[in-house]
A = this chain, B = another copy of it.
């Protein structure tokens, strides 16, 4: 599908699609030669997600962060979005009754306090935001994610390659002991690389390794490079952290 077709299907503007491409939120294939954007089914799926997030007032940057995360799970996102939409509907119900009361109040039938007058309008601690932050919010990993999201297209490309390279290297030595020279050398490379993104203390670094095995979503992604890589990295990272912690 080309831009206008997508625009007409979804009700958003062509410019919006351009914008989402510009910021790297949704970058479809481009027709070689003409440079036309071509949206496939997977792009439409992603766009659907994006628009749900947008309806829930997530800033685009955060949407990007969430969806680029290695922890991202499409179906889980849908469930959380559903919950948040239900909460939003509750808020609207609240506002409707507030209006009803206000009308009655205007006709002198009832009295209203100032608080009641704004029930439903107040946004501050709506539970669905809480829910979302809990699910995707500011963990230690978050910092590096932010950095990643703020990077330009080529930079991201470079980084993805660097990650890939390091994982592959590590995968080749995953059957050696975790404290072997090679393993520790690669792990150091890994540590130094991570510290270009955000500052990881040795403690945090060790914790990150622990997460690799504790969180099945992490494990799954890492073990794509080789069975048992997550476990191996956890051990090697722990060794590295302890050795260098004086």
Contact = CB atoms under 8 A, between A and B. Distances in A.
A82 B96 contact: yes
A114 B44 contact: yes
Contact of A117 (B11, B44, B96, B100): B44
Interface stretch (A87-95, A141-149, A193-201): A87-95
A115 B85 contact: no
Interface residues of A, number: 36
Q: Give chain A's interface secondary structure class.
A: helix
Contact of A121 (B45, B48, B86, B93): B48
Nearest to A86: B96
B100 A82 contact: yes
A124 to B, nearest CB: 5
Contacts of A82: 96, 99-100
Of all A-B residue pairs in the complex, the 5 with the closest CB atoms, nearest first, are A11-B122, A82-B99, A11-B124, A51-B121, A10-B118
Interface of A: 9-11, 44-45, 48, 51-52, 55, 74-75, 78-79, 81-82, 85-86, 88-89, 92-93, 95-96, 99-100, 102-103, 106, 114-115, 117-118, 121-124
Given A44-B117, A85-B92, 10 more contacts: A9-B115, A11-B118, A11-B123, A44-B114, A48-B117, A52-B95, A55-B95, A75-B103, A78-B99, A89-B96
